């Protein structure tokens, strides 16, 4: 992927081993994990200047919180952030993606996740992406409009 800068990525996942695995894939892709959170409350604790380019958000989170709440908070605090749900429960996501940009269904393979991250990176840094959209990566219409720029 030709890129001008690494993406700043926020990981919101309450399963510690999965969060570590996602962080490793983020770093292996040349990007930077700027924060990890297990709940809405953890995301609320981040400084406003965190300003992630991309957020991977699970649906079921710690402390009785969920990905839809986190998505709403991210949209309010960092409106330019691309939000991707990473979940085994894609049917919990409303048809309009609750303002998010897509979903990577669990379980996912390392190759599938890395392909989706590469596609997202290309689209965020220099749209449109030069890679084909991975087959198991579901996108919201708003992502495709943004990537057509």
pLDDT tens per residue, range 39-52 = 999 999 999 999 99
List the chain residues with pLDDT less than 50: 1-3
Domain boundary assignment for the chain:
8-147
Fold category of 8-147 in CATH: Rossmann fold (3.40.50)
**pLDDT score for 25:** 97
pTM, two decimal places: 0.94
Cα–Cα distance between 82 and 74 in angstroms, integer?
9
**Confidence (pLDDT) at 2:** 42
């Amino acid at each position: 992927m030709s890129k001008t800068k690494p993406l700043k990525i926020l990981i919101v996942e309450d399963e510690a081993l999965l969060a570590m695995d996602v962080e490793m894939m983020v770093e292996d892709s040349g990007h930077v994990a700027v924060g990890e959170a297990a709940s809405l409350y953890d995301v609320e604790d981040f400084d406003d200047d965190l300003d992630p380019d991309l957020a991977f958000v699970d649906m079921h989170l710690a402390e009785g919180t969920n990905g839809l709440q986190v998505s709403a908070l991210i949209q309010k605090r960092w409106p330019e952030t691309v939000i991707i749900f990473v979940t085994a429960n894609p049917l919990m996501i409303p048809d309009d993606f609750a303002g998010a940009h897509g979903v990577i269904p669990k379980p996912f393979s390392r190759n599938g996740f890395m392909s989706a991250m590469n596609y997202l990176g290309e689209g965020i840094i220099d749209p449109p992406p030069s890679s084909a959209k991975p087959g198991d990566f579901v996108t919201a219409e708003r992502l495709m409009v943004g990537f057509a720029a």
